[in-house]
Amino acid sequence: MTSINSCHRFATYIDRFYNGQSLLPDNPDNVKEVVGILDSYGYVLDAYQINLQHIADREFLTIFPFFKYFNNKVSFNQLVEHLSHDRINYEYAEYCMKVMLWHGGGKLEHYIESSEFRELIEPAIQAKIKGNPAIRLLHRLFPEFLPEQVRQSVYYNALGQFWEVMSDIFLTLARAYEQGKVTNIPEVVDWIKVGLVAAAGNPITYAVEIDDRSYDILPKSAELTFLMDVAVPYVEAIFFRGTPFLGVVSYNAQAHQIPVPQADFTYGALYADALPIGGAGIPPTLLMQDMRHYIPPYLHEMYQNTKRQEDDLLVKICLSFQKSMYCVTSATILGLAPHHLDSQDPREKSVNMAYFEGWMDRLLTSQLPNIQG
């Protein structure tokens, strides 16, 4: 099956969708690279989501959460590991959470900015601060401070719920590959798409326990769901927009290197240059350092069989990760298509084409042409 004609600069990629392919070319090396890095990423995401949900649940309105990265298991050995950085870099998970909070999007953002949300969370705030006169005074003097901390807790929890699902998708994908059930890139994309669709309607809810009483923060009545209210805003914030990294672009307003509108940001995973990975001020360096601990043997061997072997390991991991994110993006694009690709209805074909061209417009300045090997 081929697509209807398109004069878009990236029309060849649209044709791939109509022919059962993806943004990433299908070859054995790409399959091994993508599945291997997603296997590693799955283990890291599992650790991230546990910590994010721990912070949301156990560090709710804790003004100075000194031990938030310890998952309620503080010991001398953990302190040594933490101070020596022999640990998972949970800071990267928080970076992603804050990027999502800043960019917003979807019903989740609208709900936490609503008067309904503000009224709902006030009892939880009062219960948490009732024995702390200083914080009670702070709440009276600056009534927006604690609600903003609650909004941040919401994103800790929501991103944790999202990553819990994605971790399972990636880890089961890797096991399927090892068993010979997944053998090519279209099957990788379909595996991810099926997982996203299966979880699409999962409700996103959040409640905290304070003095043996449960307080709803995101009630079921808010009708927030996994795909449209967390997954799509995540793709928008992390894959597309992101944030400019210190030392890579100038923050000087007169230099005009950073767009004023957030919607014009193109600093996400699909656009990033992998070469600065390993440098100071580059948050994804933390993620690459975490993933190197879980690289499967077949991918490690692939890296070893290159000229530099492990001398540029973090850059290699980043390049593999970027390829995998184009597969996730392909799954997202296909999963959100307005009409079935087999449709013969001219109007539905036209709507689909406009939909795909809209996505391609956003990828014009991305790294897409550079991952076609």
Q: Decide: residue 281, CB within 10 A, 0-12 exposed, 13-18 middle, 19+ buried.
A: exposed
Q: Phi, psi (5° rounding) for residue 215?
A: -120, 125
pTM for the full model? 0.93
- The pLDDT value recorded for residue 4 is 57
CA angle, residues 251, 239, 261, in degrees to nearest 5: 40
Is residue 268 helix, strand or coil? coil
The owner of tokens 């721990």 is: 54
Distances from the Cα of 73 to the Cα of 1, 33, 58, 232, 233, angstroms: 56, 35, 12, 33, 32
In the chain, domain spans: 11-371
**DSSP structure string for 270-319:** TT--STTTTSTT-THHHHHHHHGGG--HHHHHHHHTSTTTTTTHHHHHHH
Rg value, the chain, Cα = 22
pLDDT along the chain (373 residues), means of 10: 60 89 93 97 98 97 92 86 85 96 94 96 96 95 96 98 98 97 96 96 96 96 96 95 88 90 91 85 91 95 86 91 96 93 92 93 91 78
Contact call for residues 37 and 300 (beta carbons, < 8 A)? no
Distance of CA 31 to the CA centre of its chain: 21
Query: d(Cα 222, Cα 205) in Å, to the nearest integer?
Result: 8
Contact call for residues 165 and 53 (beta carbons, < 8 A)? no
- The pLDDT value recorded for residue 1 is 45
Query: d(Cα 30, Cα 373) in Å, to the nearest integer?
Result: 8
Query: d(Cα 203, Cα 207) in Å, to the nearest integer?
Result: 13
Token couple for 270:
């699909």
- The single-letter DSSP state of residue 368 is G
